[in-house]
Amino acid sequence: MTNLRMKWAFLVVVLLTASYYLLPTVRYYSMSLEQRDPRVNPGVTGIQKNAMKLGLDLQGGSYLVYEVDIDKIPEELRTGDEIDQVIEVIRNRVDQYGVLEPVIQKQGGNRIVVQLPGLQDPARAKELVGKTARLDFLLVQNAQELFQAMTKVDQVVARRGSEFLKGVLDAETTPPPLGDPLTAVLDDVSPGDTAAADTAGTSLSDTTATAVDPLLAGANPFSTLFQQVDPNSGVVYCPFENYGLARRMLDEVAGNPADGTPAVLAGGTILLWGEREFRGDNENPGRFLYAVTAKAEITGDNIDKAEVQFNLDPTRPNASGVSLTLDKRGAAIFTRLTGNNVGRQLAIVLDNTVESAPVIRDKIRGGKASITGLDDDAEAKDLVIVLKAGALPTDIIPLEERTVGPSLGRDSIEKGVRAALIGGLLVIVIMIIYYRVSGILAVLALTLNLFFLFAVLGALRGTLTLPGIAGIVLTIGIAVDANVLILERIREEFRNGKTVRGAIDTGYSSAFRTIIDSNLTTLISAIVLFQFGTGPIKGFATTLMIGIIANVFTAVFVTRLIYDSILSRWQLKKLSI
Amino acid sequence: MFEIFVGTKFKFMEKRRVAYVISSILVLASLASLIAHGGPKESIDFTGGNLLYIAFDQKVNTSDVRESAERAGLSGSEVQMAQENTQAIIHFRSVEGDTVNSFYAFKTVMEEVASGVTVELMSQETVGPKIGKELEKKAATAILWSLVLILAYVAWRFTRVSFGIGAVAALFHDILIVLGIFSFLEIEVSLTVVAAFLTIGGYSINDTIVVFDRIRENMGQSRRMSFQEIVNKSVNQTLARTVLTSTTTLLAVLSLFLLGGVVIHDFALAMLLGVLVGTYSSIFVASALALDLSSWWVRRRQGQGQGKGKENRLSTKVAAAR
């Protein structure tokens, strides 16, 4: 293959690779808001993972930094896990609140960073995050109590009738922006007319989720969303697709667990959700729903010690388990509790979410219990964190908060994109007027530049922020520079009497050094900014860096390739430049 | 070919005294403003504090906003109106009493005070004092590193000391003047504005390098011209490129400034001024300084006796041109 052919082949490969990485971004952002909701379109999570992300300043949301006040805990009681515990608690609550893509991370110096994108009501989220954790041990009821409680929900939902369901369903089919608190929607629903409630015996469906429409006609709008687990236990499973709807219904009837303990439904029973879990072949995690006693006999205060231990189960010696030690009062209650309820499950509930529900195997005296049968090490560790979190005796201090409301976010995107488009257009016009056909080539290089920029952002799963858009605008402005350097040189060589070929050759080679030099210093600034900058500024530095590198590539390699190819085909006596 | 600035022979270097005067005035004025204000006006990113950016669905009275802020317990509040009184920016120190959420507190009171108005949250920022100090340090470190790296690069690239100093002086000149303008207009310097300054720094050197590269190239070729003539010629040769690139960058940034919205406004202003001043300094200041420093250096060495080195070869020409 000739040199030129190889270069073209290389370029094509690069273009194809870039397209591959760019595709998820294009697909994701050309979807309507509805289609982006994973409840409506389960495949979307895969696409979203590979796409470019939007910063909080563009999607709206909160950025919160907290410090865990370790100093408040006397030294001898510190375990080193405190931050993990707080993270677990926060994660739990944020999850309850319904934020779709929260980011909760440790940061040096006892700090935790929480990012909650797409919030409609940032104020509530903040309040939630700051509360003190609560851990309860609640007995799981049996199937009959579960049935009674779920029927109660069915009745209330059915009584509210079509009005209510329509409101909930409407909210389902035109989902509000991601992360909407699940209860906010229901405020608009007025208590419906008094349709006669069909209280005929309901049964728990054990088929996969039924379509939503029949719900309007059915008598068990709530129960049909669930699958049976065990005919004797007070637990049912709600598949991923139905969770949103089921959640809203239950919140409406009993209240959002994030706001406090849900209402008692029947005979001292409350319904609580478990964590996300996979069941069977289901690719998406659903949730278990537990019917538990409302009264907590043992709480987090009663825990003396909780740790991961091996060899607790003689049949699985290498498996990790959790060893739990209760204080004297707790131990006494525990002995009675376990004695009376062998074979039943005991739910370990953190902030109204069931984290784990081990079966009581036998009467436990002395307050020392072991929990076995856990899936793996990680589950054991997590459980210990949960148990300890319930007993965490300290506060978290808010250090920094930045919240962008949804309308400002939308506004910023619109304005940013418009500025970029118009700025780009102006630059293009100037280039073409001044350099004519060669100007068009330069514009082509610029377009490629942007193409690569977004492809790389997608490949790196980078985040686009408002300063990031500014970085793109800046890149457009300075990208032209490399092309200008080359073209000016070529013009000069023409004036000096060189041939077309000669002028191009010299133009490129003499400009090359200068291009590298001049872009390098801006690149240095960008790298420093990336290193020291926070969120939005990092976004700026990222687009600038990628833009500069892509720019050098397109200006030097691509345009040269085009000129060379044209020259090798036709003998040009003069150049439109 | 449609061209501008072909074969221009502007006598830039001859005019450099004028440029020096203008630059000195600008730099001194900037310094004066900065000193008078006690440094640049820092945003809450660095000082710590609270900010509420609110939008209303209709025009409201500034006094209503002020009153609501007071009653809502936002102590030490300062109110700025925007968008023809349909938006408000409230700076305040802290929240009093039980108020958990400053926005809700304000919203409740405001909707009472100015009945019928809908209050919407655009953005809210709270920076604790600890974080403020940390961000200050971070910004300072970033600036320091940026300067160090750029200086190192310039030193490596331009072995001529006078070039290096010229480039760096132009850089400081640019940043100082833009900072002075910000100080004069009392615009807050936030993290993003600092980012803009750092970028201006990189861009300014960028510009200067293009001219210096040309000077070096021409020095290698023409043995018969004086240094001053070489510099002149180089600046003229790169004029087209400088103007064109500045124009495109300017257009892009101008678009951002005019259309980009409130949030990015200050950043865009910094970039805009940076490009303008940077272009001016690359043409008039950097090269002029390089020229003068070079001749000064040469004269010093001549005063100390015969020395070897490239500087010397030009020295006689320079002496003759004077």
3-state secondary structure of A266: strand
Q: Which of A146, A96, A136, A135 is nearest to A268 (CA)?
A: A146
Residues of chain A numbered 390-409 and touching chain B (CB < 8 Å): 398-405, 407-408
Residues of chain A numbered 98-157 and touching chain B (CB < 8 Å): 122-123, 126-127
Q: How far apart are CA B297 and CA A524, in angstroms?
A: 30
Radius of gyration of chain B (CA): 26
- Predicted local distance difference test score (pLDDT) of residue B5: 60
Residue A535 carries which side chain, given as an amino acid letter? G
Q: Which residue has the higher pLDDT, A523 or A171?
A: A523
Residue A184, pLDDT > 50, answer: no
Q: Do A531 and B103 touch (CB under 8 A)?
A: no
Q: Do A407 and B3 touch (CB under 8 A)?
A: no
For residues A233 and A345, the answer to whether their CB atoms sit within 8 Å is yes
- Predicted local distance difference test score (pLDDT) of residue A451: 92
Q: How far apart are CA A345 and CA B178, in angstroms?
A: 69
Q: In what order do the strands lie in the sheet with A353-356?
A: A227-228, A235-238, A286-293, A269-277, A353-356, A346-350, A135-139, A298-299
State whether the Cα torsion A299-A300-A304-A308 is positive or negative: positive
Give the pLDDT mean for A457-476. 89
Q: Choose the mutation target among B134, B255, B266, B269 for the interface with A, i.e. most A CBs under 10 Å.
A: B255
- Predicted local distance difference test score (pLDDT) of residue A189: 28
Q: Which of B287, B42, B263, B274 is nearest to A522 (CA)?
A: B274
- The mean of the pLDDT values for chain A is 78
Min Cα–Cα distance to chain A from B274, Å:
12
Give the pLDDT mean for B33-60. 88
pLDDT in tens, A276-311: 777 766 667 788 899 888 888 888 778 877 888 887
Q: Which of A263, A260, A268 is nearest to A234 (CA)?
A: A268
A chain contacts of residue B87, beta-carbon cutoff 8 Å? none
Confidence tier at B96 by pLDDT (50, 70, 90): low
Residue A393, pLDDT > 70, answer: no
Q: How far apart are CA B270 and CA B201, in angstroms?
A: 11
- Predicted local distance difference test score (pLDDT) of residue A527: 92
Q: Do B121 and A405 touch (CB under 8 A)?
A: yes
Residue B84, pLDDT > 70, answer: yes
Max Cα–Cα distance, chain A, nearest Å: 103
Least confident interval from A37-51, A186-200, B109-123, B189-203: A186-200
> Following DSSP, what letter does each residue of A273-337 receive, concatenated?
EEEEE--TT-SS-EEEEEEEESS-SEEGGGEEEEEEEE--STTSTTSEEEEEEE-HHHHHHHHHH
For residues B61 and B84, the answer to whether their CB atoms sit within 8 Å is no
For residues A136 and A296, the answer to whether their CB atoms sit within 8 Å is yes
Residue A81, pLDDT > 90, answer: no
A chain contacts of residue B135, beta-carbon cutoff 8 Å? 534
**Number of Cβ atoms within 10 Å of the Cβ of B301:** 16
- The helix, strand and coil proportions of chain B, stated in percent and rounded to the nearest 5, come to 70, 10, 20
In whole angstroms, how far apart are CA B46 and each of B187, B189, B191, B197, B199?
Answer: 14, 9, 8, 16, 20
- Contacts of B80-83 spanning 24+ positions with Cβ under 8 A: B82/B262, B83/B55
Q: What is the DSSP letter of A359?
A: B
- Predicted local distance difference test score (pLDDT) of residue A40: 67
Min Cα–Cα distance to chain B from A521, Å:
5
Q: Which residue has the higher pLDDT, B306 or A570?
A: A570
Q: What is the DSSP letter of A177?
A: S
Quick one: what percent of chain B has pLDDT higher than 70? 89
**Sequence-ordered list of residues with C-beta below 8 angstroms from that of A554, at least 6 positions apart, any chain:** A445, A446, A448, A449, A452, A479
Q: How far apart are CA A340 and CA A338, in angstroms?
A: 5
Of B153, B261, B271, the CB nearest to A524: B153
Give yes or no for B150 touching A (CB within 8 A): yes
Q: How far apart are CA A569 and CA B240, in angstroms?
A: 31
Pairing of strands A53-54, A463-464: parallel
- Predicted local distance difference test score (pLDDT) of residue A177: 30
- Predicted local distance difference test score (pLDDT) of residue B268: 93
- Predicted local distance difference test score (pLDDT) of residue A61: 87
Q: How far apart are CA A186 and CA A167, in angstroms?
A: 7
Residue A208, pLDDT > 50, answer: no
- Predicted local distance difference test score (pLDDT) of residue B284: 85
Residue A165, pLDDT > 70, answer: no
Q: How far apart are CA A493 and CA A485, in angstroms?
A: 12
Of A424, A531, A534, the CB nearest to B191: A534
**Sequence-ordered list of residues with C-beta below 8 angstroms from that of A497, at least 6 positions apart, any chain:** none
Q: Do A518 and B210 touch (CB under 8 A)?
A: yes
Give the pLDDT mean for A83-98. 78
Give yes or no for B34 touching A (CB within 8 A): no
Least confident interval from A139-148, A465-474, B6-15, B33-42: B6-15
Confidence tier at B312 by pLDDT (50, 70, 90): very low
Q: Choose the mutation target among A532, A575, A576 for the interface with B, i.e. most B CBs under 10 Å.
A: A532
Residues of chain B numbered 76-105 and touching chain A (CB < 8 Å): 100-101, 103-104
Number of CB pairs, chain A paired with chain B, less than 8 A apart: 219
B chain contacts of residue A485, beta-carbon cutoff 8 Å? 210, 241
Highest-confidence segment of A194-208, A261-275, B185-199 = B185-199
Structure tokens at A481: 């520079």
- Predicted local distance difference test score (pLDDT) of residue A77: 66
For residues A406 and A548, the answer to whether their CB atoms sit within 8 Å is no
Confidence tier at A485 by pLDDT (50, 70, 90): confident
pLDDT in tens, B53-70: 999 988 888 888 888 888
Give yes or no for B55 touching A (CB within 8 A): yes
- Predicted local distance difference test score (pLDDT) of residue A162: 60
- Predicted local distance difference test score (pLDDT) of residue B4: 63
**Residue A460: alpha-carbon gap to chain centroid:** 16
Q: Do A433 and B2 touch (CB under 8 A)?
A: yes
Give yes or no for A528 touching B (CB within 8 A): yes
A chain contacts of residue B203, beta-carbon cutoff 8 Å? 478, 521-522, 525
Min Cα–Cα distance to chain A from B86, Å:
14
- The mean of the pLDDT values for chain B is 83
Q: Do B253 and A398 touch (CB under 8 A)?
A: no
Angle at B79 between CA B77 and CA B83, to 5 degrees: 155
Structure tokens at B171: 């850089």
Residue A380, pLDDT > 90, answer: no
Of A65, A418, A514, the CB nearest to B131: A65
pTM of the model: 0.75
Least confident interval from A381-390, A408-417, B46-55, B86-95: A381-390
Q: How far apart are CA B255 and CA A78, in angstroms?
A: 56
Pairing of strands A103-107, A111-117: antiparallel
Q: Which of B54, B56, B91 is nearest to B75 (CA)?
A: B91
- Predicted local distance difference test score (pLDDT) of residue A535: 80
Q: Do A470 and B264 touch (CB under 8 A)?
A: yes
Give the pLDDT mean for B172-195. 91
A chain contacts of residue B3, beta-carbon cutoff 8 Å? 491
Q: How far apart are CA A411 and CA A299, in angstroms?
A: 47
Of B131, B201, B256, the CB nearest to A525: B201
For residues A274 and A246, the answer to whether their CB atoms sit within 8 Å is no
For residues B50 and B44, the answer to whether their CB atoms sit within 8 Å is yes
- Predicted local distance difference test score (pLDDT) of residue A1: 56
Quick one: what percent of chain A has pLDDT higher than 90? 7
B chain contacts of residue A398, beta-carbon cutoff 8 Å? 126, 128
Structure tokens at B6: 């072909």
Q: Which residue has the higher pLDDT, A73 or A117?
A: A117
Task: Determine the residue of chain A that is closest to B256 in CA distance.
Answer: A419
| Per-residue exposure over A305-327, b if at least 16 CB sit within 10 Å of its own CB, e if not | ebebeeebbeeeeebbbbbbbbe
Residue B98, pLDDT > 80, answer: no
Of B103, B237, B260, the CB nearest to A419: B260
Q: How far apart are CA B11 and CA B236, in angstroms?
A: 9
B chain contacts of residue A495, beta-carbon cutoff 8 Å? 6
Residue B213 carries which side chain, given as an amino acid letter? D
Confidence tier at B17 by pLDDT (50, 70, 90): confident
Of B103, B205, B217, the CB nearest to A123: B103
The H or E element spanning position A117 is strand A111-117
A chain contacts of residue B2, beta-carbon cutoff 8 Å? 433-434, 436
Min Cα–Cα distance to chain B from A419, Å:
5
Residue B240, pLDDT > 60, answer: yes
Residue B123, pLDDT > 50, answer: yes
> Following DSSP, what letter does each residue of B51-90 receive, concatenated?
EEEEEESS---HHHHHHHHHHTTEET-EEEEETTTTEEEE
Residue A120, pLDDT > 70, answer: no
